[in-house]
Amino acid sequence: QVQLAESGGGLVQAGGSLRLSCAVSGRTASTYAMGWFRQAPGKEREFVAVVSGSGVVRSYADSVKGRFTIARDNAKNTVYLQMNSLRLEDTAVYYCAAGRKFAVVQGHYDYWGQGTQVTVSS
């Protein structure tokens, strides 16, 4: 069993930065791939980034490459999403997810956090 709790969301101006955190608890949390997804009102939930259990392998959606960075600190049981050069279209609820596989599709993730709101303004 894995429990996830996101934090760090808020209101930020376009071009600014924000760092999201996901606190991970449960057995052998470091063995799970950790992903970030987001969902804007009226839209489908979409993949943002994923990091392997070791923290070495990472993958990003094309829309955030070069702007977002995913990382994990297994000693602190925390996964981060550093978001730079934020755009209006980045506005969404951001969800942290844990899965047994390194994947970019929602179906491979078994546990989800409650989500944290990120709003980017002009």
Contact call for residues 4 and 23 (beta carbons, < 8 A): yes
The length of the chain is: 122
Distance CA 51, CA 88 (A): 25
pLDDT of residue 29: 67
Contact call for residues 46 and 37 (beta carbons, < 8 A): yes
pLDDT of residue 30: 76
Distance CA 111, CA 106 (A): 10
Q: Which amino acid is at 122?
A: S
Q: Which of 122, 1, 22 is nearest to 70 (CA)?
A: 22
Q: Give 40-49 pLDDT, tens digit per residue.
A: 999 999 999 9
In angstroms, how far is the first alpha carbon of the chain from the final one? 41
Mean pLDDT of 27-36: 84
Classify strands 18-26 and 58-60 as parallel, antiparallel or unpaired: unpaired
Q: Is the pLDDT of residue 64 over 70?
A: yes
Q: Give 71-98 pLDDT, tens digit per residue.
A: 999 889 999 999 999 999 999 999 999 9
In sign, the C-alpha dihedral spanning 44, 111, 82, 16 is: positive
